[in-house]
Amino acid sequence: MAAGRSRSDALYRRASKVMVGGVNSPVRAFKAVGGTPLFIARGRGPAVWDSDGNRYTDYVCSWGALIHGHADPRVLAAASQAARKGTSFGASTEVEVRLAEKVCSLVRSVRKVRFVNSGTEATMSALRVARAYTKRPALLKFDGCYHGHADPYLTQAGSGMATFDLPASAGVTPGTAGDTLTVPYNDEGAAEDAFRRDSDRIAAVIVEPIAGNMGVVPPERGFLEKLRKLCSGSGSVLIFDEVITGFRVSAGGAQQLYGVEPDLTCMGKIIGGGFPVAAYGGRIEMMDMVSPEGPVYQAGTLSGNPVAMAAGLAALEGLSGTSYKKLEKLSRLLGSGLAEAASAEGVEVTLNRVGSMFSLFFCGGPVRSFAEAKKSKHGLYPKFFWGTLGRGVYLPPSPFESSFLSLAHREGEVDGTVRAARAAFRELRTG
């Protein structure tokens, strides 16, 4: 059982006086689970320690970025070596060329790439490219898919917006919202209807090829293929948001896993090795629309930062086919263990998993859309979260977020997690 959290509580009180909500990203505030958030002091391998010294097996993994676990020696060595040479130049370096070459070699659809600093920058920029390329205004997205906090994406978004039950964001103009069309995820018919009505307006379709911001929801057979066909037939641009799935579910991302190539791909998280790196890339004729080659302006002082580039390159170079086999084996073991523990304690759950990303829904399955994800008994999740946290397991503080395993996790951590989950399931049933 975890010890007290008095220092985290005190830090949260201090933070709340000087930072909005006491945090710098909303889900960290623990509003979905209650209580005060953790303040993390350090991480190593599969675990983090909070400011009070409590150790937790970590399934947040910096929201999926840390596929090698915390403080991976290769990533640390690469970043440290780069930092000793200088932390930022605002000019090009060899390491960003090497990382670009690595990305293009791994992701088949990406022939040219532009590095940015966040997933929001990547998706915002990709949409701008698509609009310039097609000379059309509208965007088609899907309920529960979160693509960052740029204005066009904040309608029926998942993740933090779902946590706070916000259908849209204040500050987004009606004109911007009017250019965003939203249909249910995994609904081929709804997407087809949208194109039937507005194909001459739709510049782009953006989709998480595996939804990770309404919980993990895989694509139904044929769904991604239908989107590819609709875009190809209408001259629209298909954008895959692989900020979560890129290099996570396979070396080439979800597009390699499912055999569907988008026109543009947005990447983040793993690509930075724990540093703030993201990218967008794709077909040459589209990427050449970007300045200085073309008229689409996008720039960033810290884009291609050499320390972050070195960390990202080390992270990608540390992955192999063996890595994904290990992750699959561990993830299958954990998934089956959690399902068996829930069943043994008489708690109805659906576990959705693709590779090393998974989610528990407190409902009968299947869960194939945001509407079905919202049918989960979310009142049970806070109790389950605190039940596992108190036993040394750190899950996402929101029922709409994905959990992740890393290559640093071992069977011992998985077994301990299943034991903690079973005790937490038992408390749900008896409490």
Residues with Cβ within 8 Å of residue 365, at least 6 apart in sequence: 350
Separation CA 50–CA 41 (nearest Å)? 5
Answer whether 157's CB lies under 8 Å from 146's CB.
yes
* Ordered strands of the 202-207 beta sheet: 112-116, 278-282, 264-267, 237-242, 202-207, 138-142, 180-183
CB atoms within 10 A of CB 6: 10
- Please give the structure tokens belonging to residue 48: 């983090």
Catalytic residue among 12, 59, 146, 381: 146
409 CB-contact burial (10 Å; exposed 0-12 / middle 13-18 / buried 19+): buried
Place of tokens 């396979």: 250
Separation CA 79–CA 75 (nearest Å)? 6
CB atoms within 10 A of CB 18: 7
Residues with Cβ within 8 Å of residue 191, at least 6 apart in sequence: 140, 183, 205, 226, 227, 230
Torsion angles phi and psi, residue 420, rounded to 5: -65, -40
| Residue type at position 4 | G
Separation CA 186–CA 223 (nearest Å)? 6
Please report, for the chain, how many H helices and E strands are present, in that order. Answer: 15, 14
Instruction: Fill in the DSSP letter of residue 224.
Output: H
Answer whether 296's CB lies under 8 Å from 128's CB.
yes
Catalytic residue among 50, 241, 258, 263: 241
> 52 an active-site residue?
no
> 31 an active-site residue?
no
| Residue type at position 190 | A
Separation CA 252–CA 150 (nearest Å)? 26
> 269 an active-site residue?
yes
Residues with Cβ within 8 Å of residue 260, at least 6 apart in sequence: 209, 224, 225, 227, 228
Separation CA 117–CA 384 (nearest Å)? 34
Residues carrying an active site annotation: 146, 241, 269
